[in-house]
Structure 1
Amino acid sequence: MDVGFLFDMRNPEEWKRPWADHYARALEFCEEADQRGAGGLWFTEHHLFEDGYLPQPLTLAAAAAARTRHARIGTSVLLPALRKPAHLAEEAAIVDLISGGRLELGLGAGYRVPEYALYDTEFKGRFARTEENIREVQRLWAEGALTPGPIQDPVPLWGGFYGPRGARIAGRLGIGLLHISRDKFEHYRAGLVEGGHDPDSARVSDLLPMILSEDPEAAWPRVAPYLAHQMNSYRRASVEGTDQPTPPLIHPDEFRDRTSNAPWGALKILTPEDAAAQILEMTEGLPVRHLIFWASIAGMPDDLVAENIQLVTEKLPALIGS
């Protein structure tokens, strides 16, 4: 299993930097991570977030591909139900070509009503459309129906699904599961069998709620405001367009209580040694390919980002035997 980083490009108003500078700095971090031996650079998708959450992951993925040489270039995740399959297949193929065959295409159904409305697409039935569109992308590439096609045959695809239903969908499609969970893994293997695929072809990866620091206690108060912003925006976004009430805001001070029931459970700041111990326990017996870490939490200070990248790439691999 390799280690990599997820970039979501959040740039909140409280500590906003000019957008061009923000993207330029992220690409510099991509280059640095690649030079330090990162196994993957991953980009995610959301729309209509006030902090500019990355809306077009393949566009940024292409830029990162052109600036790097070794790391896999992935999405975790892109929303295929918002796109025509031919458009997605063409755009992803270009990223694979630019990267020299390094694309890892992670796909999911999403959870936000406004995003589907923005693209004039029905939210209801999104899982079925997601599966249909993934199958069509696979067909277009397999039959050479589009020009140019990707270098890889096939491009590694991943299902970013968290529930039992989604795990079965990933299995039926014969793709990887972007979720490390022993409970869901059995549903995933069942889906592989249902889809006529070899269950031994199972592979899993995941975004881990961790960043690394040599001094987690010192890092916590610095990260807390950024984590509070991240969590509050997720919580508000999850109910937009629904009749559910807006969740109460989490205050950074709440992260001082780091018990198992406190809000800090959304993130762990760990030394490389402590992270390795938890990772080895979590992944034991599972066919893990990629471990993905947050590059930054909501635009946190650059020195914390740089330390995180250095520790994940230079210390963690030896500790987990990758």
Structure 2
Amino acid sequence: MNCGGTWHWTGSWTPGDGGWVTVEFGVLVDVREEGAGYSGERVEEVVAADRLGFEGAWLSEHHLTADGVLPSPLVMAGVLAGRTSRIRIGTNVLVLPLHHPLRVAEDVAVLDLVSGGRFVLGVGQGYAEREFAAFGADRRRRGVLLEEGVRRIREAWSAGDVTPRPRGEIPIYAAGVTAAGLRRAARVGDGVIIYCATPADLIARRTLLDEVVDDPPPLICTGIMHVDDDADRAWAEAAPGIAYLEGEIASYGGTEPPRLHRTDYLVGTPEDIAARLIDLHAATRFVHFAHWLRLPTLSHEAAVRSLELIARRVVPAVRAGVSR
């Protein structure tokens, strides 16, 4: 159910004329101290994504991590807005139960204005116990706090409680993983965000979404992807970062990290990955796919090289394949 915002990804939606006619691509911006995350390299990588035609740059939020994962995505969004001209900038996701909804409404209104309407608010209920404890938030009520927060943000914008006023409607997307979480995301969001590291898990979540929601809003898939002309080199570059990332994500949720199997991930040559993305689109019907721009431990040069190959050889092939 659409709850008041609009789907803004440029040029993809043609109401009454066949629906979604193409897919869009974005990048997950991994900002942490490991890998010079707070240096100019990370900003330059997003500038490169903007130049190469990617449609979205997404920022996540975590707190009190050993490696300094970004705790202030709205601050970083302002930095990126000032260095880019066309790419949309969003959160994937802002842990809304840790924030006062009016404060978020004000900050996002400012971002909307300074970015020329390019900001997208992606929210989630969060899960890490240490984060809720640190902020004194009730983790048991995180689902309710998410719904209440989205409602209060929209009311603040529509009723004029926020000044300056946003230039227009700002879309709010919501993330979910479980059946209950996906129902909630579809209920409050203009789009549903699903993060899974592998295509198989994305497909499983899409299946679950279809089972629990009759008419889901558009799906934004986010996951891991890395390409190189040499498939072995692609895996050698990506594997350490994937192992690190899977371990960190597991630690947030108090679970064991999975064993890595090369064929599980979108890592390989551009042609192989394009074919797999076409299959993934057929199975999930995603409207936007965002990949980890720079995996932990990956060099700036390797990240930009992969980004350029994706832009020039993966994205056109996927768009041609899904439009047939």
Fold match, TM over 0.5? Answer: yes
- Which residue, out of 279, 282, 293, partners 2:280? 282
Distance 1:280 1:229 in 2: 27
- Which residue, out of 170, 173, 186, partners 1:158? 173
Q: Secondary structure at 2:26's aligned position in 1?
A: strand
Distance 2:319 2:237 in 1: 31
Q: Does the CA-based 8 Å contact 2:101-2:150 persist in structure 1? A: yes
> Closer, same or farther in 2 for the Cα pair 1:303/1:174, shift >3 Å?
closer
User: How far is the alpha carbon of 1:56 from its aligned partner?
Assistant: 0.9
Identity in percent: 29
Q: Does the CA-based 8 Å contact 2:41-2:300 persist in structure 1? A: no
- Which residue, out of 293, 301, 304, partners 2:302? 304
Q: Does the CA-based 8 Å contact 1:212-1:311 persist in structure 2? A: yes
Counterparts of 1:71-90 in structure 2 under 5 Å? 71-90=87-106
> Closer, same or farther in 2 for the Cα pair 1:273/1:24, shift >3 Å?
same
User: How far is the alpha carbon of 1:174 from its aligned partner?
Assistant: 4.6
Aligned residues: 289
- Which residue, out of 192, 210, 213, partners 1:186? 210
Q: Can you list the C-alpha shifts for 1:106-125, whole angstroms capped at 9, x where unaligned?
A: 11111100111111111112
User: How far is the alpha carbon of 1:235 from its aligned partner?
Assistant: 2.3
Aligned to 1:216: 231
* Superposition TM-score, scaled by structure 1 size: 0.83
Gaps of 5+ in 2: 1-22, 195-201
Aligned to 1:38: 54
* Superposition TM-score, scaled by structure 2 size: 0.82
User: How far is the alpha carbon of 1:156 from its aligned partner?
Assistant: 1.4
- Which residue, out of 24, 27, 30, partners 1:5? 27
User: How far is the alpha carbon of 1:149 from its aligned partner?
Assistant: 2.3
Query: 1:228 and 2:226 equivalent?
Result: no
Amino acid at match of 2:139: F
Q: Does the CA-based 8 Å contact 1:170-1:188 persist in structure 2? A: no
Aligned to 2:147: 131
Q: Can you list the C-alpha shifts for 1:300-319, whole angstroms capped at 9, x where unaligned?
A: 11121011211222222211
Q: Secondary structure at 1:27's aligned position in 2?
A: helix
Q: Secondary structure at 1:314's aligned position in 2?
A: helix
Q: Can you list the C-alpha shifts for 1:152-182, whole angstroms capped at 9, x where unaligned?
A: 31x1111111121122112222521112543
Q: Can you list the C-alpha shifts for 1:82-122, whole angstroms capped at 9, x where unaligned?
A: 00000011111111111100111111111100111111111
Distance 1:258 1:36 in 2: 27
Report the more deviating stretch, 36-45 or 208-217.
Answer: 208-217
Q: Does the CA-based 8 Å contact 1:3-1:312 persist in structure 2? A: no
Distance 2:86 2:69 in 1: 26
Tell me how large the CA RMSD over aligned residues is: 2.2
Distance 2:227 2:58 in 1: 18
